[in-house]
Amino acid sequence: MIRAKTLQDLFKRYRRPGDLVFAVAFLVFSLFLAINLGDQAKWSSGRLLAQPAFWPHLAVWMMVGFGVLHLIGSLVSPKLAGRWVEVAFWVRSLEFAGWFLGYVLLVPRLGYLPSTLVFMTVLAFRLGYRRPVLLVGSAGVGLCIVLIFKTFLQVKVPGGQIYELLPDALRSFMLTNF
Amino acid sequence: MEDFTSGLALLARWDVLAALLIGSVGGVVIGAIPGVGAAVAIAILLPATFSLDPLVGLTILLGIYGSSMYGGALPAILINTPGTAVNALTTYDGYPMTQRGEARRALALAYSASFFGGVFAILCLILLSPLLAMVAPHFGSREIFLAALLGIILVVLAHRGQVFAAGMLAGFGILLHTIGLEPVTYTRRFTFDQTWLAGGVDLIVVVLGLFALSQAFLLLADKDTTPHPQPVKGSMFGGMKELWGYRRVASVASGFGVLMGMIPGVGEFTAQFLSYTYAQKTSKTPEAFGEGSPEGLIASEAANNAVPGAAMIPLLALGIPGEALTAMMLSVFYVHNVIPGPQLFQKQMDFVYALYAAMLILNVIVIVFLLFSTNILTKVIQIPTRFLGLIILTLSFVGVYSLRNSVVDCAIASAFGILGLILKRLNLPLVPIILGMVLGGIMEAKLRTSMVRVKTPLDFVDRPIAALLVLMILMVIGLHIRTLIKEHRDRIAEMDHDHDIHTSQQG
C-alpha cells in the first residue's frame, strides 16, 4: 500500500467506474432546473441580493457550472472498466428501497409491532439467512426496536387498522405501546 | 465560575446522567461496528430526541458524537477496518502493531490518546469560553453571513481533487433549502405546482436518506461478510503511563484537533493529517511510521478526538455548523427553541458550560467502559454486514416516519438513500449537500437582514470582523489557486496515491 504524501494528497478523491454516468445525469438534471428557473423562481422588483429568486438562481447556476466542469473532468480522464456493472449495482439497490416503502405502507394497516416482525423475518430470509436462529434473532431485534422506540420512547407511529378488530382493553394497550 | 457551577447543577439530574451513560456507551458500540458510525446513529435518533428535554437530547447525541471515535479505533487496530471514517489513519500504525502481537498495547495507547485529545479540547473550550462570550456579540448579520460563506467555500475547497463535484453538490444543497414556500414574501420556489413540495424538503429527511438509508442499501446490496477479530489478552491500564512518554506529540495533535475543529468545513481529516505529518517530521524514528509507530497512532487518535469539542464552538457561538454531525445537532436546538449564536453565550452561559461538562464526563465514562469491555466489543462487531443493513433499514423507518407519519417523507428519504449510495460508491462527498442546505438557509436569512444597512459593497466590510472574514475568504481562495499551480508543477501520477484512505472518507 502506498501512503498519502501531502495534505493535498489526502483530500484528493479519485474517479470510480460509473462516474461519467453520474456526471451526465447530474448535468441533465441541473439543466432541467435551469430551464425552469424563470418559471419556478421569478424575479421581482427590489434589490437583487434580497430577492427570493436570488438563492435558487445562484444554486442552480452553481450546479450547472460545477456540473459542466465535473463532466469535462470525467470525459478527459482515462476510461475505467466496469461502468455498467456499477450502474447495475445502483439499480439492484432499488429493490431494497422497494422493501422499505413496502414496510412503510404495511405499518398503518398491520400495526408497528406485527409489521416489524414480518418485515425483519421475511427480509432476513430474502437476504439468504436460512438458519432458524438468525430468523428468530431478526424477529427478536425487531421486537427490541419496537420496545425501545414505541413502548419506551413513545415516538409517533400510529396504531394499525388491524388493532380495531381487537377487544377494547387489548386494543387500547396495543395502540399505546405497539 | 458562577456560570460553571450552575452548569454543573443542570447536569445533576437522573435523566441527564442516564442520557450521558446511554450516549457514551452506545456511541462506543456504534463506533466499533464497521458500517454504522456516528452519522448514521445520530440521523436515526434525531427525531426520537425531539420529545426529550433539550439537555437530555443533546447529551445523548453529544455522547454518540464524542465517543464513536473511541470505538472506531478497535476494528481499525484489530482487523484493519476503521469503525468510523475518521479512524482511517489509525489503521496505518494500529494494524501493524496487531500483526506483530502488540494489539493490547496499540488499543491501550489509542484509548489513552483519545482520552487525552478529548479532555484537552474541552479544557481549551472552558478556558476560551469567556473570550468567546466577549467576541460573539460582535457578530452581526453581515459577519454571520460571511462566516457561513467561508464555511461553504472551505467545505468545497477541502475536497481536493473533487472540488467540482463538491461545488455542484453544495449548490444542490442550497437549492434543496430554497424549495417550497419562501417565508418572507410567500413566493413559491421550485414547487412545480405540487402540494407535497410546498412545505419544502425537511433537513432530517435528507440526512436520514443520505446517511442512514444509503448505508442500509449499500450493506444490503453488497456481499455478506463477517469480521472476525481475535480476542485481546492482558490489561489495558498501561496506556496512560506510556502516553506520558509521548506527551509532546499528544499535546500538539490535540492542539491541531482544536484548531481544525473550530474552522467550519475542515474537521478531523486535516487535523489528523497535520498532526501525523508533524509527529513523523519530529520523530527520532520517522521510518517506523506506517509500520506500527506508537507516535503515529497517538497523533491520529488524539487529533480526531479533540475535534468534536472544538466543533461545538462555531455551532454554539455563531450558530454555524462546521460539518454534518453538528449540522444535525443544530436541528435539535431549533426544535427546542434554543437558538445557538451570540445570544446563547450572553444569556445561557450555564447551558453552554453544562454541555462542556457533559462532554468531559462522557470521556471519563468511555475510558472506564473501554478498559473493561474491549473483549465484549470484539464479539459485538461480529455482526454479518447484510444483517446490519437490515437493522439500519428498520431503524431508519422510525427516524423518518415518526417525524410527520408521512409516506411522502419516506419516499423522499428513499430517493436520497439511493443518491447517497451512488455518491458513496463513487467516493463523492455527502457533507457539501448537508452543509449547503444548512448554511444556505443561514446565508439567505442573514444576507437579507444585512442588506437593510448595506448601501454600497464597501459597507459590507466597514466593521473589523467583517473585513477580517472577507480577507480570510480571499486568502483561502488565493492559497487554493497557489496550491493548484504548485501541484501542477510537481505533478504526482494518480495511481501513486493511496486510494484506501479516500474510500473511507464518507460522512
Look at B162 and A13 and tell me if their CB atoms are within 8 Å: yes
- What does the pLDDT read at residue B504? 37
Nearest Cα of chain A lies from the Cα of B402 at a distance, in angstroms, of: 5
Asked whether this complex has an ipTM greater than 0.95, the answer is: no
User: Which tens digit of pLDDT belongs to each residue from B492-506?
Assistant: 554 454 444 444 344
Give the whole-angstrom CA distance, residue B170 versus residue B428: 12
Nearest C-alpha of chain B: how many angstroms from A165?
22
Specify the amino acid at residue B39.
A
pLDDT at res. B500: 45
Task: Identify the domain containing residue A106 by its residue range.
Answer: 94-177
Grade residue A10 by pLDDT with cuts at 50, 70 and 90: very low
pLDDT bin (cut points 50, 70, 90) of residue B339 is confident
- Length of chain A, please? 178
pLDDT at residue number A2: 38
**Which residues 29-88 of A have a C-beta within 8 angstroms of B?**
30, 33, 36, 40-42, 44, 47, 49-50, 52-56, 58-63, 65-67, 69-70, 73, 86
For residue B495, what pLDDT is reported? 44
Give the model's pLDDT for residue B503.
44
Residues of chain A contacting B192 with CB distance shorter than 8 Å: 36, 40
In this structure, are residues B40 and B81 in contact, taking their beta carbons and an 8 Å threshold? no
| Within a domain: A89 | no
> Would the CA dihedral through A38, A40, A46, A51 be positive or negative?
negative
Helix (H) or strand (E) holding B189: strand B188-189
Residue for grid cell 460539518:
B323
User: Distance between CA atoms of B224 and B261, rounded to whole angstroms?
Assistant: 36
| For residue B417, pLDDT beyond 90 | yes
Which of B160, B418, B500 lies at the smallest CB-CB distance from A12? B160
Whole-number Å distance between alpha carbons of B71 and B164: 34
Domain boundary among A81, A105, A136: A81
CA separation for the pair A1, A23 (Å, rounded): 29
Q: Give the span between the Cα atoms of B213 and A97, in whole angstroms.
A: 9
Q: Decide if pLDDT at A14 tops 80.
A: no
Pairwise CA distance, residues B441 & B433, whole Å: 12
> At which of A81, A114, A145 does a domain end?
A81
Kindly tell me if the per-residue pLDDT of B334 is higher than 50.
Answer: yes
DSSP annotation of B108: H
Residue A88 located in a structural domain: no
Distance CA B341, CA B304 (A): 25
Q: Are A108 and A165 contained in the same domain? A: yes
B181's enclosing H/E stretch is strand B180-181
| Residue A24 is assigned to a structural domain of this protein | yes
For B479, name the nearest residue in chain A, comparing CA atoms only: A8
pLDDT at B251 over 90: yes
Report pLDDT digits (tens) over A130-158. 999 889 999 999 999 999 888 888 888 88
pLDDT of residue B220: 93
* Residue A22 domain-assigned (yes or no): yes
Once rounded to an integer, what is the mean pLDDT over residues B73-94?
81
Within 8 A by CB and 6+ apart from B39, the residues are: B211, B324, B325, B328, B507
Q: Do A13 and B407 touch (CB under 8 A)?
A: no
Interatomic CA distance for residues B12 and B161, integer angstroms: 48
Counting the structural domains of chain A, the total is 2
Arithmetic mean of pLDDT over chain B: 85
* pLDDT higher than 70, residue A1: no
pLDDT at residue A6, as a whole number = 53
Q: What is the mean pLDDT of residues A19-25?
A: 93
Rounded to 5°, the CA angle B122-B123-B127 comes to 115
Tens-digit pLDDT profile for residues B148-164: 999 899 888 877 778 89
Lowest-pLDDT range of A3-7, B47-51, B349-353: A3-7
Are A170 and A116 part of one and the same domain? yes
Average pLDDT over residues B394-406: 89
What pLDDT shows up at residue A9? Answer: 53
Q: Is residue B178 within 8 Å of B497, Cβ to Cβ?
A: no
Q: What is the pLDDT of residue B350?
A: 84
Find the mean pLDDT for residues B260-273.
Answer: 78
A73 and A136 in a common domain: no
What is residue B332's predicted lDDT score, i.e. its pLDDT? 81
Q: Which H or E element spans position A8?
A: helix A7-11
Residue-level pLDDT at B168: 95
For residue B501, the model assigns a pLDDT of: 44
- Residue B163's H or E segment, with its range, is helix B163-178
Residues B312, B125 contacting (CB under 8 angstroms): yes
Mean pLDDT value across residues B241-268: 85
Q: Model confidence over B290-319: pLDDT tens digits?
A: 888 899 999 988 998 888 888 888 888 888
Selected residues 93-132 of chain A with any CB under 8 Å from a CB in chain B? 93-97, 99-101, 103-105, 107, 116, 119-120, 123-124, 127-129
Is there a single domain that holds both residue A70 and residue A102? no
Would you state the pLDDT for residue B412? Answer: 95
Residue B453 main-chain phi, psi, to 5 deg: -100, -10
* Strand, coil or helix: B84: coil
Minimum mean pLDDT among B193-207, B242-256, B309-323: which range?
A: B309-323
pLDDT digits (tens, 9 = 90+) for B349-380: 888 888 888 888 999 999 888 888 887 888 87
Cα–Cα distance, B197 to B180 (Å, whole number): 6
Percentage of chain B exceeding pLDDT 90? 22
Q: Which of B250, B159, B252 is nearest to B506 (CA)?
A: B159
Is pLDDT larger for residue A121 or for residue B92? A121
Say if the Cβ atoms of B48 and A50 lie within 8 Å. no
pLDDT of residue A66: 95
Confidence category of residue B262, pLDDT binned at 50, 70, 90: confident
Cα within 13 Å of Cα(A86), Cβ side: 19
Q: What is the pLDDT of residue B217?
A: 95
Q: Residue B24 is part of which domain span? A: 2-503
Highest mean pLDDT among A85-99, B33-47, B137-151, B373-387: A85-99
Domain match, A171 and A100 both? yes
The per-residue pLDDT for A42 is: 85
pLDDT at B230 over 80: no
User: Are residues B344 and B338 in contact, defined by beta-carbon separation less than 8 angstroms?
Assistant: yes
User: How many structural domains is chain B composed of?
Assistant: 1
Using alpha carbons, list the distances in angstroms from residue B229 to A66, B79, B293, B380.
43, 6, 21, 10
| pLDDT number for residue B440 | 92
A2 inside domain: no
